[in-house]
């Protein structure tokens, strides 16, 4: 190929189940055009065709997203192709057609690809990212120049194994082209080895909140049943329907659809036995029994009530717990454990609580056994009503003692088992932040919990990370090492529904200690032991067998413990639809990467996962996609599409004229301050304690400390508080310090909050006034109502509008402010 070839790297992370394909295009704009977005939008290249084709066979989905762009102008335009992938999907192919030539990407080892990426970055070139959001997803973006009066086509293929939840498989395709598209075609082909029970398409969804079916969002998809095992689903909204859907989904009509198209289905299976598919030396074993009595269970709910759970979060937990308690069966028992700085075990019968302070956190059981703690209560109607009353009494306060709370939960389970309980124990652990009390190192917490749990009762721990401040990686690792799994609960109006949906998935355990047994000639088998099987889900095992026409599976079994004792179930052999090799490779890589995440020595597992990823061209945690394109060098890495752009980490923003580093904090501990202006008045060294990273303060000798507000001046020197307005010539705009404000400020510059519209007070001298007792820094409760611009040391806490709303206040009935904490002076 003549000229210079240009490389772009896109590496993808793991996770699960949503997908947002789309194409958003931006013309090359001058500064004037950027200010006039409406004019620039009219000059954007046109998406002439947008197609998604998904082929599902043996529960394995292969999806192709195709977008065709046309530049009718006489000037070159920049087209940006973006696809937001399910966390659990692997990209397997990407092709661009430009100027009559095809450019196909290739997969490389991550470090090698990173060198290409870094080389491009060193040249000062980067691809723009498009603001498309979706939960549990990763965003892939590529930008190219489209020549005058020419076309470009993008093709992206990704693959995923569909997960069965609540008695159905669900393929979710999010559509977000950014404009109305004349030719839009979505087609899903379902072809299974067993007869289809049903195929349906619910209402279009917004993609970021769970909602009920809405007749106005009925896609009216064309569903054709080809035969008992296959069907085709088509969704082809014309221009008018796209505008209607956009309006119903809360978008501007000319921006087109921004939502999820969903296909749901299930297969008719043997009520007890599993299903085996074999082809060309590869097999897959599906196991989803239904005709089994549920196991009685002992559920320990461990709920975070630390200060960061203030307001809506705790209200939503209470709402969800009311519904969850109603789902308990009369054969179940339950405990409620609350934790903040201390641990509280609630006595459901008396609606009172015992306070625990665990001192020996590495070996706590001996100490806990000396305490008189309440027994688990049977889930009678009376006990459930009292449980709801207990939940209503929960109040937010204090720090976050995670380890002590989990150890207490394990002790309560051990106590019940030692007393002869035969119920299946489950621990449900919910938190929104980091550990800030007792042992706070998350690696150490995981090791201690895993050791205690492994030495005793092997209790499944299911973790729920609530909101952006929770450490998802820590909770995922904690649960994986303790026979459970983790789920993330997104902050939003539907958080209570998310919690209820999670519990629904684990509410009915049918079998425990499940083991898949195969003959010795079977090799390279994926995970084949599972602690619990829940109704409505599915266990999947895949492996290799010697190719032999008379290969015998009569000795293959699934052994497990049911409510009535040990059972052994032989599988039913079925003919697969298509190949099984890529399904085997996909699941093998996924599980090796999961094992790698938990292993101390990752070298061998990394090599094994990488070898398979390169062989099958899968983009994974250890491999990256290198995209070759003509006429320019560009580099971009995929990013988490569900994560707010500014949450929980430091980030630097640069332009040819200025740069600004901004810091944001997670719940648990405050983060470091950002440099706010040409000089910083913050203590440059971190000081963890009552308040981390405190500004330099003044205190009178022998008298009380007084809050003060730093002034913005050109010298950066801190002086005494003054009653005259400070110089503000170099003060950054509040919208630059809190970027989320840009999306919610009214046209007249006011902010709608607390039932009114209030000015932000920029450029105004407004004295702080009025005491308040709920500040963003949970370690400093007392504060005064101040303008946002006059309280910079809380900006790191205010990661989004919902967080700010919890601490908002009004000054002089005119200005929107924040409860600004009294500053703790440095020793």
Could you read off the pLDDT of 715-736 as tens digits, one per residue?
222 233 333 333 333 457 888 7
| 36-45, 149-158, 641-650, 774-783, range with the lowest pLDDT | 641-650
pLDDT at 640: 67
Is 360 a residue whose pLDDT tops 60? yes
| DSSP letter string, 726-787 | PP-TTPPPHHHHSGGGGGT--TTS-EEETTEEEB--TT-----EEEES--SSTT---EEEEE
Mean pLDDT calculated for residue range 10-20? 38
**Please, which residues have CB within 8 angstroms of residue 46's CB and are 6 or more apart in sequence?**
69, 70, 71, 72, 179
Block residue for tokens 């032999």 = 548
Mean pLDDT calculated for residue range 154-162? 96
Count of positions (residues) in the chain: 827
| 479-483, 520-524, 808-812, range with the lowest pLDDT | 808-812
Bridge-based pairing state of the strands 297-304 and 333-339: parallel
Is 7 a residue whose pLDDT tops 50? no
* pLDDT tens-place string over residues 379-426: 999 999 999 999 999 999 999 999 999 999 999 999 999 999 999 999
pLDDT at 4: 31
**Please, which residues have CB within 8 angstroms of residue 238's CB and are 6 or more apart in sequence?**
none
Angle at 594 between CA 9 and CA 279, to 5 degrees: 90
Is 126 a residue whose pLDDT tops 50? no
Angle at 480 between CA 571 and CA 587, to 5 degrees: 45
Superfamily of domain 297-507, CATH level 4: von Willebrand factor, type A domain (3.40.50.410)
* pLDDT tens-place string over residues 344-358: 999 999 999 998 877
Name the helix (H) or strand (E) containing 452: helix 442-455
| DSSP letter string, 620-635 | -SSEEEEEEEESS---
Is 71 a residue whose pLDDT tops 70? yes
Mean pLDDT calculated for residue range 434-443? 92
Is 652 a residue whose pLDDT tops 50? no
pLDDT at 121: 54
CB atoms within 10 A of CB 422: 10
**Which is nearest to 433 in space by CA: 228, 202, 671?**
671
Tell me what the pLDDT averaged over the chain comes to. 80
CATH code of domain 275-292+511-615: 2.60.40
pLDDT at 670: 36
Q: Which long-range contacts (CB under 8 A, 24 or more apart) does 352-358 make?
A: 353/390, 356/404, 356/408, 357/404, 358/401, 358/403, 358/404, 358/407, 358/408, 358/438
Q: The tokens of 574 are what? A: 């079925």
pLDDT at 629: 67
**Please, which residues have CB within 8 angstroms of residue 36's CB and are 6 or more apart in sequence?**
none
Burial 505-534 (b: 16+ CB within 10 A, else e): bbbbbbbbebebebeeebeebbbbebbbbb
Name the helix (H) or strand (E) containing 343: strand 343-347
Signed CA dihedral, 686, 690, 691, 695: sign only: negative
Q: Judge contact between 135 and 87, C-beta under 8 A.
A: no
Is 478 a residue whose pLDDT tops 80? yes
CB atoms within 10 A of CB 655: 7
Pick the more confident residue, 141 or 590: 590
Mean pLDDT calculated for residue range 687-696? 28
* pLDDT tens-place string over residues 520-542: 999 999 999 999 999 999 999 99
Mean pLDDT calculated for residue range 73-100? 87
Block residue for tokens 């060098």 = 633
* pLDDT tens-place string over residues 627-648: 876 654 343 445 666 654 333 2
Is 8 a residue whose pLDDT tops 80? no
Mean pLDDT calculated for residue range 160-180? 92
Burial of 24 from C-beta contacts in 10 A (0-12 / 13-18 / 19+): buried
State the span(s) of the chain assigned CATH 2.60.40. 5-267+619-640, 275-292+511-615
Q: The tokens of 329 are what? A: 């069966």
Give the percent of the chain with pLDDT over 90: 50
**Please, which residues have CB within 8 angstroms of residue 537's CB and are 6 or more apart in sequence?**
163, 164, 165, 288, 505
pLDDT at 307: 93
Pick the more confident residue, 607 or 45: 607
CA separation for the pair 435, 562 (Å, rounded) = 37
**Which of 206-220, 541-555, 664-678 is modeled with the greatest confidence?**
541-555
Mean pLDDT calculated for residue range 808-823? 85
265 beta partners = 169, 199
Mean pLDDT calculated for residue range 570-598? 95
φ, ψ of residue 61 in degrees (nearest 5): -105, 130
Taking phi first (over 0 means left), then psi (-120 to 50 degrees means alpha), and beta for anything else, what does residue 385 get? Answer: alpha
Q: The tokens of 49 are what? A: 């065709």
Mean pLDDT calculated for residue range 504-510? 95
Task: Show the 3-state SS of 658-724.
Answer: CEEEECCCCCCCCCCCCCCCCCCCECCCCCCCCCCCCECCCECCCCCECCCCCCCCCCCCCCCCCCC
**Which of 17-31, 226-240, 795-809 is modeled with the greatest confidence?**
226-240
CATH architecture of 5-267+619-640: Sandwich (2.60)
pLDDT at 211: 66
CA separation for the pair 67, 315 (Å, rounded) = 43
How many CA within 13 A on the CB side of residue 345?
25
**Which is nearest to 673 in space by CA: 523, 795, 540, 501?**
795
């Amino acid at each position: 190929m003549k000229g210079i070839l240009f490389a772009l790297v896109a590496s993808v992370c793991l996770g699960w189940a949503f997908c947002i394909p789309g194409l958003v295009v931006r013309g090359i704009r001058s500064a004037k055009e950027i200010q006039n977005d409406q004019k620039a939008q009219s000059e954007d290249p046109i998406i002439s065709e947008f197609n998604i084709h998904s082929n599902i066979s043996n529960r394995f989905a292969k999806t192709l997203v195709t977008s065709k762009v046309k530049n009718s102008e006489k000037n070159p335009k920049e087209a940006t192709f973006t696809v937001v992938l399910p966390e659990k999907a692997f990209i397997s192919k990407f092709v661009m057609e430009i100027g009559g030539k095809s450019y196909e990407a290739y997969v490389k080892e991550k470090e090698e690809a990173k060198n290409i990426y870094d080389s491009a970055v060193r040249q000062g070139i980067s691809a723009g990212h498009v603001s498309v959001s979706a939960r549990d997803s990763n965003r892939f973006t590529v930008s190219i120049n489209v020549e005058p009066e020419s076309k470009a086509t993008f093709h992206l293929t990704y693959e995923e194994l569909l997960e069965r939840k609540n008695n159905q498989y669900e393929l979710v395709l999010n559509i977000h082209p950014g404009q109305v598209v004349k030719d839009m075609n979505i087609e899903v082909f379902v072809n299974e080895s067993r007869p289809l029970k049903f195929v349906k398409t619910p209402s279009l969804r917004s993609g970021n909140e769970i909602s009920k079916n809405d007749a106005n969002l009925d896609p009216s998809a064309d569903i054709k049943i080809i035969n008992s095992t296959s069907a085709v689903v088509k969704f082809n909204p014309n221009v008018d329907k796209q505008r209607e859907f956009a309006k119903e989904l809360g978008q501007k009509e000319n921006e087109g659809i921004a939502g999820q198209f969903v296909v749901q289905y299930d297969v008719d299976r043997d009520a007890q036995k599993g299903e085996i598919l074999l082809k060309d030396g590869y097999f897959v074993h599906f196991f989803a029994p239904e005709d089994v009595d549920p196991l009685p269970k002992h559920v320990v709910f461990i709920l975070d009530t630390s200060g960061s759970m203030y307001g809506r979060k705790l209200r939503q937990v209470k709402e969800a717990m009311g519904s969850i308690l109603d789902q308990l069966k009369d054969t179940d028992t339950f405990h409620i454990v609350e934790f903040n700085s201390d641990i509280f075990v609630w006595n459901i019968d008396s609606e009172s609580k015992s306070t625990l302070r665990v001192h020996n956190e590495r070996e706590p059981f001996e100490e806990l056994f000396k305490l008189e703690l309440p027994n688990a209560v049977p889930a009678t109607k009376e006990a459930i009503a009292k449980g709801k009353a207990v939940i209503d009494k929960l109040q937010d306060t204090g720090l976050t003692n995670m380890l002590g709370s989990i150890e207490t939960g394990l002790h309560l389970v051990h106590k019940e088992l030692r007393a002869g309980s035969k119920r299946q124990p489950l621990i449900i652990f919910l938190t929104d932040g980091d550990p800030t009390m007792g042992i706070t190192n998350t690696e150490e917490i995981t090791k201690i919990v895993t050791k205690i749990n492994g030495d005793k009762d092997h209790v499944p721990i299911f973790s729920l990370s609530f909101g952006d401040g929770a450490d998802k990686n820590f909770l995922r690792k904690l649960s994986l090492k303790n026979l459970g799994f983790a789920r993330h609960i997104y902050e939003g109006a539907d958080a209570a529904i998310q919690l209820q949906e999670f519990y629904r998935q684990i509410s009915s355990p049918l079998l425990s200690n499940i083991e898949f047994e195969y003959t010795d000639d079977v090799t390279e088998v994926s995970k084949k032991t599972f602690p619990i099987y829940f109704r409505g889900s599915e266990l999947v095992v895949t492996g290799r067998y010697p190719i032999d026409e008379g290969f015998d599976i009569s000795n293959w079994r699934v052994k497990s413990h049911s409510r009535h004792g040990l059972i052994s179930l032989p599988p039913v052999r079925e003919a697969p639809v298509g190949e099984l090799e890529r399904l085997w490779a996909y699941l093998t890589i996924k599980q090796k990467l999961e094992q790698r995440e938990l292993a101390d020595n990752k070298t061998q597992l990394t090599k094994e996962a990488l070898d398979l990823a390169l062989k099958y061209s899968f983009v994974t945690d250890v491999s990256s996609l290198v995209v070759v394109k003509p006429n320019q060098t560009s580099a971009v890495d995929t990013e988490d599409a569900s994560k707010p752009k500014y949450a929980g980490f430091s980030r630097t923003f640069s332009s040819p004229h200025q740069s600004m580093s901004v810091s944001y904090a997670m719940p648990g501990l405050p983060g470091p301050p950002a440099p706010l202006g040409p000089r910083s008045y913050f203590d440059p060294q971190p000081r963890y304690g009552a308040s981390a990273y405190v500004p330099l303060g003044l205190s009178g000798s022998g008298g009380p400390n007084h809050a003060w507000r730093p002034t913005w001046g050109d010298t950066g020197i801190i002086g005494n508080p003054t009653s005259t307005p400070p110089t503000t010539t170099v003060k950054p705009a509040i919208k630059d310090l809190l970027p989320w404000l840009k999306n919610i400020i009214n046209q007249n510059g006011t902010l709608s909050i607390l039932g009114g519209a209030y000015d932000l007070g920029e450029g105004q001298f407004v004295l702080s006034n009025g005491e308040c007792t709920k500040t963003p820094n949970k370690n400093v409760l007392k504060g005064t109502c101040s303008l946002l611009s006059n309280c910079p040391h809380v900006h790191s806490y205010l990661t989004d509008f919902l967080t700010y709303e919890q601490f908002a206040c009004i000054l002089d009935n005119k200005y929107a402010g924040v409860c600004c904490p009294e500053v703790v002076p440095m020793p």
